[in-house]
A and B are shown apart, each in its own frame.
Chain A
């Protein structure tokens, strides 16, 4: 046992291969940000990434060039549960689901989405897309119907506020929005650090605003996963992660808007990339006469990755750089404005920031598409 420990320590301190190099970088970043707790989370994620279950070949994913595990969401879930269990056992903390029925309903809905995603991650195509869509519609429909406090009665957009004045219409619109947002979050999960980066920023802001432990733990877990995902690329977030994080974010976002703690424009700006990319992708596919949910490589992250790829020898760096660039210019921009207090969080002026982010998305997508079309034309 002692010699095994000595060997592990020696290998850790004096890395001989790329794997150990990456592990040391991840461990250092985690220790710097969240100390021993962060280091523990990275080691936990590393051990889960070595599992055979859920392993995908590089060819089965859009821009990834290395074989990775799609159980990133499962790793996030386990790390989250370990932290939460530790808090419950080691401190006088009582989880919100026990104290407040709103949070009980909220987390039950998130749990249903996590189970749906987990079934898909462990066995691809186990559940049909229509079945998953119907279950999500039912889960959010029941949640928003039984917990009307989460449904806002106005969102600061004059045309839509007329519709939100009717509780039934507001319920229907919010249900459709929630399900659409989860699918958008899943669709945006195409580069290392893209969705984890957006989720880390969003939970960080929510935690800073409310100081609720659940968002704090989610912020910690997303940040650790971001470091792990960006440095190594050994994990995809998978359906468990994108459904679970998407559901938690959309529920907390709706609750915040309904309670008037922040504007709908702020949430739109914070989560601009998945929303805009989802709408643009649907329009692009509809124009081509394709199914709106059929996967393709026309997303901004695909085109940006193609732009970065020839500039680096590494297979992971272009992928991670793509995710970080997009998350920085979408949610990162929102975080900068929030931290510098340029705009009040309740202000509808955030819709202006969202409009700027949408414009930036369209301009960059147009220019990359034009340049890459010219490249393809020349090569042919």
Chain B
């Protein structure tokens, strides 16, 4: 394999690995709702390694705003959002 193909392959694999990680994170946010396991982990080492400081903050902002997820559309979170005033205080995620 020549140098061009090798670097291209590495770049492609890393990008797809990152996209897969973001997808998994988004799906997890949908499944768990707003229990904090995704929202509160902005600076967790795994997440920083996967999508970096900017990516992690953007993902967090979108989840908090109720966009549901970063890249999964047309799916509503099963849990209630943190701003849901109808829930009693203790029950809020």
Residues of A within 8 A of B (CB): 4, 8, 30-48, 50-51, 79, 82-83, 86-87, 90-94, 99, 207-208, 211, 213, 216, 220, 223
Nearest A residue to B49 by beta-carbon distance? Answer: A35
* Count of A-B contacts judged by CB separation below 8 Å: 126
Closest approach, in angstroms, between the C-beta of B13 and any C-beta of chain A? 7
A211 to B74, alpha carbons, bound, how many Å? 13
Are A82 and B12 in contact, with the CB atoms below 8 A? yes
Q: Which residues of B contact A4 (CB under 8 A)?
A: 6
Report the separation of the CA atoms of residues A87 and B72 in the bound assembly, to the nearest whole angstrom. 9
How many whole Å from A200's CB to the nearest CB in chain B? 11
CB pair A40–B14 under 8 Å, yes or no, is yes
Which residues of A have CB within 8 Å of B76? Answer: none
Task: Please tell me if the beta carbons of B11 and A47 are within 8 angstroms of each other in the complex.
Answer: yes
Nearest residue, chain B, Cβ from A42:
B11
| A86-B72 contact given A33-B55, A35-B52, A43-B7, CB 8 Å threshold | no
Seed contacts A35-B18, A37-B19, A87-B23; 10 additional CB < 8 Å A-B pairs = A31-B52, A41-B15, A42-B11, A43-B11, A50-B7, A87-B71, A90-B19, A91-B71, A92-B75, A94-B74
For chain B, what secondary structure do more than half of its interface residues adopt (helix, strand, loop), or is it mixed? helix
Residue B70 at the A interface, CB < 8 A?
yes
Kindly provide the distance from the CB of B80 to the nearest chain A CB, expressed in whole angstroms.
19
Please measure, in the bound complex, the distance between the C-alpha atom of A41 and the C-alpha atom of B58, giving whole angstroms. Answer: 18
Contact B26 A91 (CB under 8 A): yes
| Choice from B54, B65, B71 contacting A33 with Cβ under 8 Å | B54
Q: Which residue of A lies closest to B9 (CB)?
A: A47
Query: In the complex, are the beta carbons of B52 and A79 less than 8 A apart?
Result: no
User: Does A213 contact B52, Cβ atoms closer than 8 Å?
Assistant: no
